[in-house]
Amino acid sequence: MADVTVRAPAKINLHLEVLGLRPDGYHELAMVMQSIDLADTMVLRTTADDTIRLRSDSRELPSDGTNLIVRAAELLRSRVGLPELGVDITLHKRIPIGAGLAGGSSDGAAALAGLDALWGLALGRERLHGLAAELGSDMPFCLEGGTQLCFGRGERLEPVPAAGAPGQALLLIKHPQASVSTPWAYGRCRDLRGDFYLDAEEDFEQRRQALRQGPLVAALAGRGPLPHLRNDLQAVVEPEVESIRAGLELLRSGPGALAVAMSGSGPSLFALHPDLATAEAAREALAEPLEALGFDTWCCRCGGSGVSLVTDGSAP
């Protein structure tokens, strides 16, 4: 195969609950993640040598072995025992960087799926998910996408039965100068909420079951109204970051929102809406204060899949 194009969608968190600390030092989480149609596009081409080359239209992204795309290619090549394989990768970046939208994880997952096709490996879903989990906690979700319960570090997935996103679309905002370190956010959560952490597997499972049977999953399956969205990291980050406080206040004041929350560890914020037209109307209504405060904005649809090969010939 001469070249492969892969679409790498972003995600938002509809629920993020920090349950406690695991023996490996990571936090045990109970989450609901949702794909959205804001996506990067990756074009992968075969090469005549064994070089892994990455170029991007974003000056902010490294192109060396610190990038998840390169790490994914190196890991995949190593595991299949074919060091002679090479690839030239071009990334068209649309997902904002460091935004709590899993843009880097989705790009890494796209590299795994794209290279599996480009190199004709046919590894299968289970093996690709195992490699994704080694590289990052969000990467298995980014491979699968849709609406998923995510447990453990986030790598253990359970599809939400009969799920349809609570809003068909969202108004997404991020301040370009705002930055939140994920390790800092989790450390702050541990400092402020550590006394309430659970530490036994049976307690973790009780909270997982409460989420499975709770009002959010019921609403996602069309069996009730959408509840308040919980993000334990928002509870500790919002008081510390002024642009997050201002952005959440603005979104809450806008028309037609079903729910408002921060995604992941931030700083991206979103308001869920019944449809794209309602989200666009909210962006228009809030245009002046959003511009005055310097926010970037997107209106996105909720999506039903993760990374996917582009087969219709379309490209950015």
99 assigned ligand-binding residue: yes
Say whether 11 is catalytic.
Answer: yes
pLDDT (0 to 100) of residue 2: 76
304 assigned ligand-binding residue: no
CA nearest to 80, candidates 6, 131, 141: 131
Q: What are 210-250's pLDDT values in tens digits?
A: 999 999 999 998 888 899 999 999 999 999 999 999 999 99
Residue 168 — very low, low, confident or very high, per pLDDT cuts 50/70/90?
Answer: confident
98 assigned ligand-binding residue: yes
Judge whether residue 299 has pLDDT over 60.
yes
C-beta of residue 172 within 8 angstroms of C-beta of residue 270? yes
Pairwise CA distance, residues 202 & 247, whole Å: 38
The stretch 90-100 carries a mean pLDDT of 96
Can you give the length of the chain in residues?
316
The stretch 286-311 carries a mean pLDDT of 95
The stretch 262-272 carries a mean pLDDT of 97
Amino acid at 186: Y
Q: Is 32 helix (H, G, I), strand (E, B) or coil?
A: strand
pLDDT (0 to 100) of residue 167: 64
Q: How many CB atoms lie within 10 A of CB 239?
A: 12
pLDDT (0 to 100) of residue 203: 97
Judge whether residue 22 has pLDDT over 90.
yes
Residue 31 — very low, low, confident or very high, per pLDDT cuts 50/70/90?
Answer: very high
Segment holding 154, helix H or strand E: none
Q: Is 48 helix (H, G, I), strand (E, B) or coil?
A: coil
Q: What are 194-209's pLDDT values in tens digits?
A: 999 999 999 999 999 9
Considering the candidates 11, 116, 174, 232, report the single residue annotated as catalytic: 11
The stretch 26-46 carries a mean pLDDT of 97
pLDDT (0 to 100) of residue 222: 86
Segment holding 79, helix H or strand E: helix 68-80
Residue 311 — very low, low, confident or very high, per pLDDT cuts 50/70/90?
Answer: confident
Say whether 88 is catalytic.
Answer: no
C-beta of residue 245 within 8 angstroms of C-beta of residue 238? yes
Pairwise CA distance, residues 251 & 261, whole Å: 9
Considering the candidates 107, 116, 138, 232, report the single residue annotated as catalytic: 138
C-beta of residue 105 within 8 angstroms of C-beta of residue 129? no
Q: What is the pTM of this model?
A: 0.94
The stretch 47-60 carries a mean pLDDT of 94
pLDDT (0 to 100) of residue 231: 98
Pairwise CA distance, residues 316 & 302, whole Å: 20
25 assigned ligand-binding residue: no
Would you give the end-to-end CA distance of the chain in angstroms?
20
Residue 60 — very low, low, confident or very high, per pLDDT cuts 50/70/90?
Answer: confident
97 assigned ligand-binding residue: yes
103 assigned ligand-binding residue: yes
294 assigned ligand-binding residue: no
Write down the mean pLDDT value for the chain: 94
Residue 164 — very low, low, confident or very high, per pLDDT cuts 50/70/90?
Answer: low
Residue 114 — very low, low, confident or very high, per pLDDT cuts 50/70/90?
Answer: very high
69 assigned ligand-binding residue: no
Pairwise CA distance, residues 302 & 194, whole Å: 33
Hey, what domains does the chain have and what are their CATH numbers? 4-161 (3.30.230.10), 169-301 (3.30.70.890)
Judge whether residue 315 has pLDDT over 60.
no
Burial zone of 88 (CB within 10 Å; 0-12 exposed, 13-18 middle, 19+ buried): middle
